[in-house]
Amino acid sequence: MTAGKVWRMWAFPFRGTFHRARGSTIWLHRVLVAVALTGLLAALVRRRAPLLGIALLAIGITTAVDVAFVAEARHAFRLLPALVAAGAAGWALLARGRPRAPETPEG
């Protein structure tokens, strides 16, 4: 039941109370969430960025509270901006490449 609530929360876009989303909209939403989450997790593993860890912790706690204490878990509509921003920051950190060692002056 809990896994089902998490799936409904993150796998479907919010379209209001009585609206149905098209299949293409649902899959675009899922791809966006997957790309953002991949960038966030990859940067956490590769770069050990503490701010991205805090963002992931906040998103995870909010998801857990919604799933545990709300009868019908809220859609991730209010969490998507934070996830996309953290995912973009993660991809940017990964794209920068390996940090260079500071050059020492000779002489």
| Within-domain flag for 104 | no
Q: 107 CB contacts (<8 Å, ≥6 apart)?
A: none
Give a yes or no: residue 105 inside a domain. no
100 located within any domain: no
- Segments forming the whole domain that contains residue 82: 2-15+23-95
Q: Is residue 83 part of a domain?
A: yes
80 part of a folded domain: yes
**Are 9 and 63 spatial neighbours (Cβ–Cβ below 8 Å)?**
yes
pLDDT tens, 87-103?
999 999 988 876 655 66
Q: Who wins on pLDDT, 19 or 1?
A: 1
How many independent structural domains does the chain possess?
A: 1
53 assigned to some structural domain: yes
On whether residue 106 sits in a domain, the answer given is no
In a domain, residue 30? The reply is yes
Band (pLDDT 50/70/90 cuts) for residue 12 is confident
Q: What is the 3-state secondary structure (H, E, C) of 20-60?
A: CCCHHHHHHHHHHHHHHHHHHHHHHHHHCCHHHHHHHHHHH
